[in-house]
Amino acid sequence: MSKHSVVTIYLAALVTGGVIVTFPASSTILRERLEIGDTLYGALFLPVLILAAVSALASPILLRRWSLQALFRWAQISLAVSMILMAVSPFLGRDLGVATLILAMTAFGPGGGLIGLVLNTGAIENFPRARSGALTALHGVIGVGAALWPMIIAVAARANVWFAAPLGLAVIILGITVFAGKKPVVGWPRIPNGFKERLHIPGRLWARSTTVLIYGIGEGTFTAWAVIFLSENKGLPLEIAAGALSSFWFAMMAGRMLSTVIVRRVEPLWITLILAAGMALSFVLVSGSNGAIDSLLRFGLAGFFCSALFPLLLSLASEELPHHTPQVSALFSASVAMGLIGGTFGVGPLRALLGLQHIYTYSAIWPVLIITLLLTMRRWPKTQV
């Protein structure tokens, strides 16, 4: 572990949080200026999530030739290009603007798929004896960026300089990339020669990655449609809708930071089960959001219960399969991306049939499935799957 390595990993995580929420937090602005309907809005998530999943799954092959530090550099450049294209898209007219936005989401894909792998692996390798705490803290920092950025976007939009938010992110991303290149980052070495023999993915890991895929569906449903649900279905101002999304991410950040303390005293599995049960309850509560304060509280509660689920699920798999860290990170990054596809693109066509309020209510089934799978896997003997 070195100061440069830790600063690079966690600073990149902070900015990644902002990148993740830039598109959903800007949804009302982009939909209005580019005349984007529900189905097209949901479809815009497809290229980023599909390419993120493909990039994550292909990472073991890429790592035969390039180091994690090289993949980090490519991921950062991909994310910076995405932010620049998104910033200019509303100024290009409807057709060219939509095409540019599609390119922005396409550029986002590889960066989003690789950055999760690189940051998760870096946190685990720098703190091998405190994996749960390191991963929870990492995703807590991502939550900080995700919580702050929608508010910055709302302020920029009110000042009629919305484009400055994604452009500013691009500049920061490139700055971190330059900083990271000054020294080798601990935990991002070239994969050892024996890695080729460890490319086999155990069946138990496939089973655990399913829980993350399901979680991705739930998180995508919460976050990708929050601003639209509150502004269009509930008639709340854009600032309030963006604030509710920020409250989700703030609560997620707080929950993750709290979990770094609790996980030292309570078995991670039990924390995970409690959070999943709370996530199911949150879907029902969010569907009944009504008014500014009420919406802020309900989405905040949802963020709290979603908070440490992903890092804890990742930690459970990493501790169970300590010699498969790259495969765990890659498969989990791909699985959560594929889950997000279902939680974003899938909601668009369903909105006309069910309505967002009912979709949120019925989505309580996803965390219930996570609980069922975790309890089932707990009973499996170590030699199974």
- What does 348-375 look like in DSSP terms, one character per residue? HHHHHHH-HHHHHHHTTHHHHHHHHHHH
Q: Say whether pLDDT at 344 is over 80.
A: no
* Mean pLDDT of all residues in 88-95: 90
Q: Say whether pLDDT at 241 is over 90.
A: no
Report the alpha-carbon angle 334-338-343, nearest 5. Answer: 145
- Beta carbons within 8 Å of 134's beta carbon, 6+ residues apart: 123, 124, 126, 127
What proportion of the chain, given as a percentage, has pLDDT over 70?
91
Domain chopping of the chain, boundaries: 3-378
Lowest mean pLDDT among 14-18, 28-32, 54-58, 315-319: 54-58
Q: What pLDDT score was predicted for residue 303?
A: 93
Lowest mean pLDDT among 10-14, 20-24, 113-117, 124-128: 124-128
What proportion of the chain, given as a percentage, has pLDDT over 90?
28
Q: What pLDDT score was predicted for residue 175?
A: 94
Tell me how far the alpha carbon of residue 371 is from its chain's centroid.
Answer: 20
CATH for 3-378 is: 1.20.1250.20
Report the C-alpha gap between 63 and 65 in whole angstroms. Answer: 5
Q: Say whether pLDDT at 76 is over 80.
A: yes
